[in-house]
Amino acid sequence: CPVPGPPPRGGAARPGRPGPGCVRGMEPAEEDAGGFPRLIQKKRDGERLQPAEIQRLVQGVCGGGLQQGQIGALLMAVRLRGMDAGETLALTQAMAASGRVLAWPQAWRPLLVDKHSTGGVGDKASLALAPALAACGCKVPMISGRGLGHTGGTLDKLESIPGFNVSQSPEQMRQILEQVGCCIVGQSEELVPADKVLYSLRDVTATVDSLPLITASILSKKAAENISALVLDVKFGSAALYPTLESARPLAQSLVSVGSQLGINTAAVLSEMDAPLGRRVGHSLEVLEALECLHGGGPADLRELVTALGGCLLQQCGAAESVEAGSASIAAALDNGSALCTFQAMLQAQGVAPGVAQALCTGTEEQRYQVLGRARTQEELLAPQDGTVQAILALPIARVLHGLGAGRTRQGQPLNPRVGAELLVAVGQRLPLTRSSPVASTRSNKASPLVGLSLPPPQPGAWGTVGSWGQCRVMDGAL
């Protein structure tokens, strides 16, 4: 696959062609000493904030007028009191206008698309979907986030690849899209700086699950991308922000409503998140599984989700007559190697050395591990008795891995990309009578031994669930 090198730092668009535009949204807020506390109190007491008041608060977030403690108080007030549809739209617009709004060539306009997931365990769909869409002719300027709570972040997964740079300027994004067709980047200081501040604080202030904050965070980035079509993967289940289908519907409706009012062709897919997506959980392990999908293989549930979301987007942007036809095009891109080729090109365009990108995309499993590294400790969990696997619960798995170093407990905390778990059984699988059948392997850099595993009494003919890991005792960061 011919692959381009990374664009030069600070590079400008080509002469004679329109470069990324800029809407400078906000100057630092000029507020009297009691102004911000009054607005926080207003929301704390359940009152409605006016659009101008919301704009002043976002200005305070960006300009430094709001102290970190005040931002935390505002987030909690919104989490507890909520926002109506008008407030949520105003918050989204103010956040989107806090930085640059990208401008693209008019010829790209119909094919500018993106996808966003509300977060799940083992959700590496973006890593396969973005290059598959680009291979089908779309332009995908994907602005992603880091892990929130127990869920993994797309940026964290990609940063487990040596050299991958998620920090790209608008000019660099333009060059990468011209050369490759897709990029996956973080919120820079130029792009939605308000969300960069709020996103990091939501994780450490227990406000991750706020519907208006989720809506504004997701859609402010998509509005700044200046895309034409967006599909949202709204998760529900025991390991999602919302436990049931009915509880997740309001978020899906909020996202579609606000997205449409922003001028984006928006659709939402509700998908279950009780079990992990795929069989590997953990940043570098999920990169490996995404590569399997890009080779036309990998777990069936991952491929199904990637093709379904991609089919929706291709239909939304007019590149396919129907969702089914779009899904078939995505599947073909995964099977014929064009999506893999595009992924390799994206890696190099975002700073990965050519030899590293080639080893990951065309090398053996062992060569990939040489690139990503292995954890020092690998342990297998054994089934305590024979039976049939009835369920695999994602949340306890995610919590254990979070404690081992795969997640954050404070803002800016570094992660261990090699921490992870690989499921070795599937729902419905019958385990033999030997009692020595491994159900999963865990990987970490902690040398402590496996110290305890307690399972509930099994039903007749079954041994419980892999999710019963949640009752493991934790000692020195090891299970």
Concerning whether 144 is annotated as a catalytic residue, the answer is no
Residue in the structure block whose two tokens are 């850099």:
445
**Inter-CA distances, 187 with 109, 146, 151, 256, Å:** 22, 10, 18, 22
Among the options 146, 202, 222, 418, which is catalytic? 202
Among the options 98, 117, 160, 217, which is catalytic? 217
Among the options 114, 195, 233, 274, which is catalytic? 195
The secondary structure element, H or E, covering residue 43 is helix 35-44
Sequential DSSP letters for 57-97: HHHHHHHS-S-HHHHHHHHHHHHHH---HHHHHHHHHHHHT
Among the options 100, 116, 150, 303, which is catalytic? 116
**Inter-CA distances, 462 with 8, 89, 315, Å:** 58, 49, 43
Angle in degrees, 0-180, between the axes of helices 338-349 and 283-294, rounded to the nearest 10: 140
Concerning whether 221 is annotated as a catalytic residue, the answer is yes
Of 216, 192, 90, 89, which is closest to residue 141 (Cα–Cα)? 192
Q: Which two tokens stand for residue 192?
A: 């939605």
Residue in the structure block whose two tokens are 């060539």:
105
Concerning whether 283 is annotated as a catalytic residue, the answer is no
Of 444, 449, 442, 445, which is closest to residue 469 (Cα–Cα)? 442
Concerning whether 150 is annotated as a catalytic residue, the answer is no
Among the options 221, 303, 402, 408, which is catalytic? 221
Concerning whether 295 is annotated as a catalytic residue, the answer is no
Contact criterion met (CB below 8 Å) for 420 and 303: no
Contact criterion met (CB below 8 Å) for 147 and 153: yes
Q: Residues with catalytic annotation? A: 116, 195, 202, 217, 221
